[in-house]
Structure 1
Amino acid sequence: MTKTSPSPQAGDDDFGTQRTVRRSRLFFVFPVIAIATFALNLIWEVARRNMDQRLLMSWPFKFSIVDTSTTANILALATGLLIARLQYARVLRPVIGFAIDDADALFKPDSDRWRFWLYNAGSGTAVVERFEYYVRFRGDSDAGQLDRDHSGNWVPLAVINDQLRSRGLKDGEDYFLRWSTKGAPVPSASGYVAWFTIRGLAELERFDVRIQVVDGLGDIHERTFPFMHRLPSVTEDAIKAYRSRDSLA
């Protein structure tokens, strides 16, 4: 079933907001399971304390692992540690940012090459877990649609290069995409990801970049950046002018 595309409408500033897609099993999932287990045990022990003593001599009511006071102390300690962990995770949370500029960073109307930058503005480390692209070209019938359940729509660098070449774009001449493999660090200073010429951009209807990073606690964060929907106005005007000339040629 085809659903609405995740690429935004013009002016949708909330699209692609960073989100946490998975918590660390060791430092989050297991502690939550432990807290839930001790909470259930506390309820069981409190219920047993309010039962008739004769009932406590028979199964299943005589079953007990940890007494009430010990369970309560462990539960309070585990809950406190989990809260501290969540606060620490917030401090270490990476903040993935993107930027677009031209070769001179002056946003000139006649600039032919536009660059795409990626950086981590957070205080914690960020290591690439996954780096994927979604592209649709000018004139594609499904440029505004995407089946969210079909992961094949998001592709790695090797596939995106083939897709761009299929439209006659030349690597190193009309565009360039830097390879970002799993395990690569996301720098705090802006890291160069890609560049496109106006000719290359004129062929694109959508070019979305999705990155997943792992922080120091093992949590995975994701952000999607809609490149074509975040172009400066001078770039959009240059693309329109190029397409107009191309249609008259």
Structure 2
Amino acid sequence: MLFTAPLVLLVLLVLILLWEAVRANVPPGAGDDWPWRLRLLDMEVLGSLLAVATGAVLARAQYARTVRPYLGYRGSWRKGLLAEGKPAWRVGILNGGQHIAVVDSWECRVVLRGVSDEASAPWAAVPDVVSTLTAAGLSAGRDYQLIAFGAGFPLVGTGNYDTVPVGVFSQRCVERVESLHIRVRVTDVVGDSHERVLDCMRGARAEYNVPGAEPVNE
């Protein structure tokens, strides 16, 4: 609404400007006939209103860019998150913007290795994805943790690289799951909507990242 009102006003004023421009170029004898005698606004007033409306639209667009959230995520292997001394792949989300963003929806899509393809996998709520993983022989709390963020959850602008955990996955889970995506939609302080898709398994199986003899992040 904060953006729609000045934008609608600007479009309306541009239409009036076009009408007045057409009226000014009709033949002299036709100016007294309908509809050419219809005068909507004085040109000086119209020019002032156009300047105000244009300024409002540009100011709102600049403010929206300033307060927009910058959603990012990262994953890393850490020990002790699921089992004592065992590495687990932790994925977290962060809002790198300066202002708060509020979660509108939080959906997941899981593809099991050798069972289904990504194109046919539907977006679903976290409990439905948990059911799919459980049916595949993976246990919540032992093989993985998935955190559900409800509508209205605030993602605060951190100003640093600290992330809010969204999921933790054991090596067994990483081997059994081909891909797991999380789609998050948020609304910023001016009412604009933003969307980001998190690829939770990205980097987990990279050769340089797979935990082995070398210690992982504590």
Q: TM-score if structure 2 supplies the norm length?
A: 0.84
> 2:127 matched to 1:158?
yes
In structure 2, runs of 5+ residues without a counterpart are 213-218
| Contact 1:127 1:185 (C-alpha < 8 Å) held by counterparts | yes
Q: Hey, what does 1:131 align to over in structure 2?
A: 106
Of the two structures, which has the highest relative contact order with CA contacts closer than 8 Å and spacing of 6 or more?
1
Give the alignment's Cα RMSD to 1 decimal: 2.3
1:75-224 matched pairs, under 5 angstroms: 75-104=50-79, 111-143=86-118, 146=119, 153-187=122-156, 188=158, 189-224=162-197
Report the secondary structure of 1:86's partner residue: helix
Per-residue Cα deviation, 1:118-155 (whole angstroms, up to 9, x for no partner)? 11111121111111111100102424xx26xxxx8111
Go from structure 1 to structure 2 and tell me whether the alpha carbon gap of 1:223 and 1:49 turns closer, same or farther (over 3 Å shift).
same
Go from structure 1 to structure 2 and tell me whether the alpha carbon gap of 1:183 and 1:220 turns closer, same or farther (over 3 Å shift).
same
Report the secondary structure of 1:153's partner residue: coil
Distance 2:149 2:208 in 1: 25
Superposition deviation, residue 175 in structure 1: 0.7
In structure 1, runs of 5+ residues without a counterpart are 1-25, 240-249
Superposition deviation, residue 94 in structure 1: 0.7
Superposition deviation, residue 236 in structure 1: 6.1
Q: TM-score if structure 1 supplies the norm length?
A: 0.75
| Contact 2:108 2:183 (C-alpha < 8 Å) held by counterparts | yes
Q: Hey, what does 1:32 align to over in structure 2?
A: 7
| Contact 1:98 1:116 (C-alpha < 8 Å) held by counterparts | yes
1:45-64 matched pairs, under 5 angstroms: 45-64=20-39
1:71 counterpart letter in structure 2: L
| Contact 1:28 1:82 (C-alpha < 8 Å) held by counterparts | yes
Distance 1:66 1:166 in 2: 69
Superposition deviation, residue 56 in structure 1: 2.5
| Contact 2:106 2:148 (C-alpha < 8 Å) held by counterparts | no
| Contact 2:174 2:204 (C-alpha < 8 Å) held by counterparts | no
Distance 1:236 1:204 in 2: 17
| Contact 1:102 1:111 (C-alpha < 8 Å) held by counterparts | no
Superposition deviation, residue 206 in structure 1: 0.9
Distance 2:52 2:92 in 1: 44
2:155 counterpart letter in structure 1: V
Distance 1:98 1:86 in 2: 26
Superposition deviation, residue 104 in structure 1: 4.9
Aligned residue-pair number: 204
Superposition deviation, residue 156 in structure 1: 1.2
Superposition deviation, residue 59 in structure 1: 1.6
Q: In proportion to residue count, which structure has more helix?
A: 1
| Contact 1:46 1:68 (C-alpha < 8 Å) held by counterparts | no
1:163 counterpart letter in structure 2: T
Distance 2:194 2:10 in 1: 24
Distance 2:146 2:203 in 1: 18
1:70 counterpart letter in structure 2: V
Higher mean C-alpha deviation, range 225-234 or range 111-120: 225-234
Distance 1:104 1:139 in 2: 28
| Contact 2:102 2:152 (C-alpha < 8 Å) held by counterparts | yes
2:151 counterpart letter in structure 1: K
Report the secondary structure of 1:82's partner residue: helix
1:59 counterpart letter in structure 2: W
